[in-house]
């Protein structure tokens, strides 16, 4: 008595499962299109399966791979309009790429120059354009001075930048402040060597 | 110890319509600012779309009826550990590379049921037809 319904379920399920495997095995055509970068340049990518490889390196160039039994198709340049139509939803959902800024400081100082203050208005623009809730501010020093002193100075620099952004209306909760002292220099030097390019705060707006 | 190895992969930047994150087989609605971890699956329904920013500052967005897993995400530039693999089951995906592709030329890979895309750079779109539609 108890086996009968079970058997019935099996009878129904088995062909269904087979069907699923067959369908997913043969109908998932992949189309890959290379798009120009935001700055207009075009990169490169390779589309391959066990049967072969195609390289895409021109704007709007595309290849299709319909099955693992066949190599991806020869690259073909599609019309931009057509690509924008097929990928409209994903393109519309694409976030603005993150952007980074660097602010430099004088020796032993965490004061911002007039040029740096001007640059911060660009940072504010970037925050607003992205409705950014993820702003990373990292302070650094050059290799002059004791480790403790440099760590403190790098934190002061990062905080000085954060305070100005907050004063200009950025929510402090969206800011992450980190400090590195003399670690992670832009331009590696021996200890004790002054290097203006390392006395900096990096701001990343995501 | 396996759990400790799981890495933050990024965060959700924007969401529209039916958009979900599947983590350890549990599905939750995708939320702006929500964290993304290695092994998460991004899922959209008939009307959904979603944009995400990954830790290496690469940018990815998906259209409706899409399913894509972040099957591998390692971003440790100091140790030169840089790799990102996504698996697209179905749908549309647009990706703009970030630091991983820049620092490791074979570091970014998109797998689909019928192909592998090795990405040197920089901006591209992939569509995988849903076999059930």
Q: Give pLDDT tens digits for B36-60.
A: 999 999 999 999 999 999 999 999 9
Distance from C-alpha of A142 to C-alpha of A190, rounded to nearest angstrom: 10
SS3 category, B91: strand
Write the CB contacts of A99 (distance below 8 Å, at least 6 apart in sequence): A126, A204, A205
B16 touches chain A (CB under 8 A): yes
B45 touches chain A (CB under 8 A): no
Write the CB contacts of B117 (distance below 8 Å, at least 6 apart in sequence): A32, A45, A46, A47, B109, B110, B111, B124, B126
A65 touches chain B (CB under 8 A): yes
**What residues 37-56 of chain A have any CB closer than 8 A to a CB of chain B?**
37-38, 41-49, 56
**pLDDT over 80 at A8, yes or no:** no
pLDDT at A136: 96
Burial of A150 (0-12, 13-18, 19+ CB in 10 A): buried
User: Per DSSP, which regions of chain A are E strands?
Assistant: 30-34, 44-49, 52-56, 61-65, 76-77, 99-104, 135-139, 175-179, 200-205
A23 pLDDT band, cuts 50/70/90, is very low
B133 pLDDT band, cuts 50/70/90, is low
DSSP B106-120: T-EEEE-SS-EEEEE
* pTM, rounded to two decimals: 0.85
Classify residue A184 as left (phi > 0), alpha (psi -120 to 50) or beta.
left
* Residue whose C-alpha is closest to residue B59's, from B21, B11, B18, B25: B11
SS3 category, A59: coil
Return the residue of A nearest to B116 by Cα: A48
Distance from C-alpha of B23 to C-alpha of B42, rounded to nearest angstrom: 9
Query: Considering the domain boundaries, does residue B133 fall inside one?
Result: no
In chain B, the number of structural domains is 1
Domain ranges for chain A: 29-92, 99-205
- Rg (C-alpha) for chain B, rounded Å, is 14
**What residues 92-121 of chain B have any CB closer than 8 A to a CB of chain A?**
92-94, 96-98, 112-121
Residues of A whose CB is below 8 A from B13: 95, 206
The answer to whether residues A181 and A155 touch, using CB atoms and an 8 Å cutoff, is: no
Distance from C-alpha of B74 to C-alpha of B99, rounded to nearest angstrom: 11
Residue A167 dihedral angles phi and psi, to the nearest 5°: -60, -30
Nearest to B125 among A25, A28, A83 (CB): A83
pLDDT digits (tens, 9 = 90+) for A132-166: 999 999 999 999 999 999 999 999 999 999 999 99
The answer to whether residues B40 and B46 touch, using CB atoms and an 8 Å cutoff, is: no
The parent domain of residue B60 ranges over 3-128
**pLDDT over 70 at A15, yes or no:** no
Q: Which residues pair with A205 in a beta bridge?
A: A99, A135
Residue B120 to residue A43, Cβ atoms within 8 A: yes
Q: Which CATH architecture has domain A99-205?
A: 2-Layer Sandwich (3.30)
Residues of B whose CB is below 8 A from A49: 114-116
Residues of A whose CB is below 8 A from B16: 93
Residues of A whose CB is below 8 A from B121: 37, 43-45
- Rg (C-alpha) for chain A, rounded Å, is 28
A77 touches chain B (CB under 8 A): no
Distance from C-alpha of A144 to C-alpha of A107, rounded to nearest angstrom: 9
pLDDT digits (tens, 9 = 90+) for A83-103: 999 999 999 999 999 999 999
């Amino acid at each position: 008595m108890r086996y009968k319904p079970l058997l019935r379920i099996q009878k129904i399920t088995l062909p269904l499962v087979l069907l699923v495997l067959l369908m997913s095995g043969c109908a998932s055509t992949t189309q890959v299109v290379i798009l120009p970068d935001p700055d207009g340049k075009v990169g490169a990518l390779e589309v391959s399966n066990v049967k072969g490889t195609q390289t895409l390196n021109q704007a709007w160039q595309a290849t299709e791979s319909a099955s693992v039994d066949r190599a991806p198709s020869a690259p073909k340049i599609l019309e931009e309009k057509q690509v924008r139509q097929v990928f409209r939803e994903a393109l519309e959902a694409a976030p603005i790429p993150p952007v980074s800024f660097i602010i430099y400081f004088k020796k032993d100082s965490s004061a911002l120059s007039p040029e740096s203050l001007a640059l911060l208005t660009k940072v504010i623009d970037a925050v607003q354009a992205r409705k950014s809730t993820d702003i990373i501010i990292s302070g650094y020093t050059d290799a002059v001075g004791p480790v403790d002193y440099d760590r403190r100075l790098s934190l002061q620099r990062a905080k000085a930048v954060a305070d100005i952004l907050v004063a200009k209306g950025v929510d402090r909760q969206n800011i992450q402040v980190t400090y590195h002292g003399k670690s992670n220099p832009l331009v590696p030097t021996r200890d004790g060597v002054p290097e203006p390019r390392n006395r900096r705060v990096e701001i990343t707006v995501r | 110890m396996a759990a400790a190895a799981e890495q933050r992969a990024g965060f959700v930047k924007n969401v529209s319509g039916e958009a979900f994150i599947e983590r350890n087989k549990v599905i939750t609605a995708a939320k702006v600012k929500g964290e993304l971890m290695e092994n998460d699956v991004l899922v959209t329904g008939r009307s959904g779309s979603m944009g995400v920013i990954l830790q290496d500052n690469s940018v990815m967005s998906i259209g409706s009826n899409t399913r894509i897993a972040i099957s591998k995400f390692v971003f440790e530039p100091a140790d030169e550990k840089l790799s990102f693999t996504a698996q697209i089951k179905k749908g549309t995906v647009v990706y703009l590379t970030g630091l991983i592709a820049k620092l490791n030329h074979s570091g970014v890979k998109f797998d689909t049921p019928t192909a592998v895309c090795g990405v040197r750079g920089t901006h591209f779109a992939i569509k995988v037809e849903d076999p059930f539609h």
